[in-house]
Amino acid sequence: MNPESRYKRFQRPEALFALFAPLVALPGVGDKLAGLLKKKIGSHIIDLLRHLPVGVIDRTKRPDIPNIEHGALVTLEVLVTKHDKPPRQSRRPWRVFAENETGQIEIIFFRTKGDYVEKLLPIGQKRIISGRAEWFQHKVQIAHPDHVVAPEKAGQLPLYEPVYPLTAGLTPKMIQKAMHGALDRIPDLPEWIEPSILARFQWPEWHHAMRKVHHPERVHDLMPGSPERARLAYDELLANQMALAMVRQESTREQGRIFAGDGQLRRQLIDTLPFTLTGAQDRVIREILTDQHQTDRMLRLVQGDVGAGKTLVALMAMLNVMETGAQSALLAPTEILARQHFASISAMLAPLGIKPGLLLGKMKAAEKREVLAGMANGEIGIVIGTHALLSDGVEFHDLGLAVVDEQHRFGVRQRLILGEKGHGVDVLVMTATPIPRTLAMTAYGDLMSSQIDEKPPGRKPITTTSLPIDRADDVIARLKTVLAEGKQAYWICPLVDESDVLDVQAAEERFTMLKAALPHANPQLVHGRMDAETRDTAMESFRTGEAKLLVATTVVEVGVDVPKASIMIIEHAERFGLAQMHQLRGRVGRGHDASSCLLLYKAPLSETASARLQIMKDSNDGFRIAEEDLKLRGPGEVLGRRQSGDPEFTLADLAYHGDLLEMAREQTLTILTENPKLEGADGERIKLLLALFERDRAVTYLAGG
Ligand code: ADP
Ligand code: MG
């Protein structure tokens, strides 16, 4: 069932109508401009207002002409004395001579039409001009001044001019004109931020802040820490935290259940494992169990670096549920991952005589029917699958626990859908990529989290180095030697998008080349666009050691477990996300051999790209890598483009506003404790904030409560 369907439609408060008017309503904005703006910025006036300047032009400098510095931006009041108009068809510029009491200048125009220049700068009249000045043959020239105004209209010349990020087809003038119109329509809105917070930071009211950010006067005003920007960022974070808390309030509205099994299955599992649990696994399993013993519905995030052993932790939670007779589902982001979880969990459960189920979108109809029947009648206690688990026809006999192997690809919505497939369903989210706390909060709100911060013993550190890709021949020669010694290696080619044909081609070409260069290593190729059978055969021959080299796209990112493989080569490392590279690197360093990871990059590297590779070389700590990545790239990219339903901030910058997020969380808690249904005038203000950030769905939950 669609979780939205139970709730009545949300009505936008009237106070916001002006802000949500379409951009074409603004003077100077026609369909064409609105179309351009829509692509990059949005279609409403409020979207334009959230498009903040990235620079400021200072037009206050009015030097004497002889003192002008080459290349300086100057504003001068001058008398126009002469025009040197080029003959028709000539490529010579149109030169205008002008002067004031300090000296003379030339104003230059190229390719002008008609009498434009004559009208702009009439002889014998004074004009204020502003633009970039240059010295040329002992004379000051200004080519195509930014502004020309008559002295009596000096007020029209902006002293400080905001600079906006532009997209193709947009000129600064177009955007500034539209922005002027938008700024004129800013309403006064009631305050939603706690007065004590406002006072503490001396933040302006919303409408003041909004106007001020568009009128910067110094570079300082553009900083994320300026009072105006910080205030607007806080608004956005508060809306985010409120919305998440309300979704959470809604999803825990239904009473949870107590899952307290007798421990029999769990003991059997532990007894048959060839190793003992790490201290961290043991602790996290107990943290989960404590939640399971309570009537509140569990929503817990389990974070653990690659190879920390999350699968086993999840399995213990699922077995507890199974001991009580209820069912568990494990939701994986891709088919390959679902298959891998299925394989490793099947192996662990085999000694217990338990067979888990597997549900994928692409399955033979008969197979699918059998699994669905087993889930519906309760014969299957543990099912592993992809998005297919969320489909309408999927029913459980008694679902008690949903484990989401997140990879940041599922949103709040998917978790709600799974929750509705049973009653009082507990949710456990596993993230292989460690998320900095700030990001976790914006994606999940205030949820409980557990860290598996210890790896199974005996893991050797991985040495990471980098080389430009034109040294590939040397690398292959070296590889030949070590593979002949019996080692195994991964060679990863980038595949950012599973539908990217060019990347697949590049991987295939690399494979052909490596097969020719290293025939004794029996290289195998796997990528996401192969049929499952071919891929499984290739993986299997690598797993058994028959093949020494596996050429792969990122399908081996997670879950692949071949302890003997000790070498990882990542081609075009500059194209990968750090977190993803860390995942890939986690495929080695699982066995007894010392392991290595080589990052092949295409030179030259940008400064950021080279800083990113350096982080990989310096650190094996997933948390640190994620934090550094956040600083270098910003949250949108760290969380990955594929995330759904997770916030994208336009005003807040988590690399700077992390402390504001913490405050927003606290204010959210206070509000929901004191006024859970957002009643009265105080409540209305918060609803206005939610509507301002289009967190409409959160507001509709109030009606459902
Ligand atoms: P991840 O946290 O990356 O999902 P996995 O659950 O895939 O890690 O576990 C990685 C590997 O470590 C698997 O081969 C698993 O069997 C093994 N493993 C898990 N827990 C332990 C442990 N306590 N001692 C030794 N090996 C373990
Ligand atoms: Mg795993």
Alpha-carbon gap, residue 221 to 230, rounded angstroms: 11
**Cα(455)–Cα(656) distance, integer angstroms:** 31
Residue scoring higher pLDDT (505 or 265):
265
Determine which helix (DSSP H) or strand (DSSP E) holds 569, and give its type and residue range: strand 565-571
Distance CA 420, CA 304 (A): 27
Structure tokens at 635: 């949250």
Per-residue confidence (pLDDT) for residue 538, from 0 to 100: 87
Structure confidence at residue 406 (pLDDT): 65
- Name the residue at shortest CA distance from atom 25 of ligand 1: 456
- So what's the pLDDT on residue 205? 96
Residue 139 has pLDDT above 70, yes or no: yes
Q: What is the pLDDT of residue 460?
A: 77
CA separation for the pair 489, 86 (Å, rounded): 70
Q: Render pLDDT for 297-336 as a digit per residue (tens, 0 to 9).
A: 888 889 888 778 999 999 999 999 999 999 999 998 777 7
Ligand 1 centroid to Cα of residue 311, in Å, is 7
- Residues whose beta carbon lies within 6 Å of some atom of ligand 1: 275, 277-278, 281, 304, 306-312, 432, 456, 561
**What is the number of the ligand closest to the CA of 305?**
1
Distance CA 495, CA 511 (A): 14
**Phi, psi torsion values for 81, nearest 5 degrees:** -110, -30
Question: 264-452: what fold?
Answer: Rossmann fold (3.40.50)
Name residues whose C-beta falls within 8 Å of residue 190's C-beta, 6 or more positions apart in sequence: 681, 684, 685, 688
Q: Write the DSSP symbol of residue 276.
A: P
Q: Phi/psi of residue 346, each to 5°?
A: -60, -45
Residues carrying CATH 3.40.50.300, the chain? 264-452, 463-619
pLDDT (average), residues 368-375: 96
Residue 587: name the closest of 571, 573, 566 by CA.
Answer: 566
Token output for 385: 């699958």
In this structure, the residue with its CA closest to atom 19 of ligand 1 is 309
Taking the C-alpha atoms of residue 70 and residue 30, their distance in angstroms, rounded to an integer, is 39
Tokens of 218: 């110094």
Query: Residue 214 C-alpha to ligand 2 middle, in angstroms?
Result: 47
Q: Which residue has the higher pLDDT, 320 or 136?
A: 320
**Structure confidence at residue 389 as a pLDDT band (50, 70, 90):** very high
Looking from the CA of 409 toward its CB, the CA atoms found within 13 Å total: 13
363 touches 338 (CB < 8 A):
no
Q: What is the pLDDT of residues 274-284, one digit of tens each?
A: 999 999 999 99
- Write out the CATH class of domain 60-157: mainly beta
- The whole-number pLDDT of residue 1 equals 37
CA distance 248 to 412: 9
End-to-end CA distance of the chain: 18
CA proximity to 146, closest of 164, 161, 167: 161
Cβ atoms within 10 Å of 150's Cβ, excluding its own: 12
396-414 average pLDDT score: 77
**Which residue ranges does the chain devote to CATH 2.40.50.140?**
60-157
The residue behind tokens 């125009």 is 109
Q: What is the DSSP string of 118-185?
A: HHHS-TT-EEEEEEEEEEETTEEEEES-SEEE-GGGGGGS-SEEEE----TT--HHHHHHHHHHHHHT
CB-based contact 467:479 (threshold 8 Å): no
Q: What is the mean pLDDT of residues 544-549?
A: 93
- Choices 3.30.465.10, 3.40.50.300, 3.30.497.10, 3.40.640.10: CATH for 463-619: 3.40.50.300
pLDDT tens string 612-653: 899 999 998 887 887 777 777 654 444 443 332 334 688 888
Give me the amino acid identity at 290.
Answer: T
Rounded Cα gap, residues 694 and 12, in angstroms: 9
Query: Does the pLDDT value for residue 484 go beyond 80?
Result: yes
Name the closest-CA residue to atom 6, ligand 1. Answer: 309
- Are 145 and 129 contacting, i.e. CB atoms less than 8 angstroms apart? yes
Buried b (16+ CB within 10 A) or exposed e, 537-549: ebbeebbeeebbb
Cβ atoms 638, 505 nearer than 8 A: no
Proportion of the chain above pLDDT 70, given as a percent: 89
Predicted confidence at residue 554, as pLDDT, reads 67
Q: Which band of pLDDT confidence, cut at 50, 70 and 90, is reported for residue 529? A: confident
Nearest to 248 by CA among 444, 111, 538: 444
Question: Which of ligand 1's atoms lies nearest the C-alpha of 281?
Answer: 23
Per-residue pLDDT, 634: 54
By alpha-carbon position, which residue is closest to atom 13 of ligand 1?
309
- Does residue 236 register a pLDDT over 90? yes
Mutation to probe ligand 1, out of 561, 564, 620 (largest number of atoms < 8 A from CB)? 561
The helix (H) or strand (E) run that includes residue 238 is helix 227-251
Task: Output the six-digit token pair for 343.
Answer: 């394989």
Neighbours of ion ligand 2 (CB under 5 A): 311
Query: How far, in Å, from the CA of 308 to the mean position of ligand 1?
Result: 6
Give the residue with greater pLDDT, 501 vs 602.
602
The fraction of the chain above a pLDDT of 90, given in percent, is: 51
Whether the CB-CB separation of 597 and 618 falls below 8 Å is answered with no
Task: Reply yes or no on whether the pLDDT at 264 is more than 70.
Answer: yes
Q: How far is CA 292 from CA 286, 319, 412, in A?
A: 10, 12, 21
To test ligand 1's pocket by mutation, which of 285, 310, 311 has the most ligand atoms within 8 angstroms of CB?
Answer: 311
* 141 — pLDDT class (breaks 50, 70, 90): very high
Residue 508 Cα to ligand 2 middle (Å): 27
**What average pLDDT does this structure show over 73-97?**
91
Average pLDDT over residues 460-488: 92
Q: Indicate which atom in ligand 1 lies nearest the CA of residue 561.
A: 14
> Measured in angstroms, how far is the CA atom of residue 553 from the centroid of ligand 2?
18
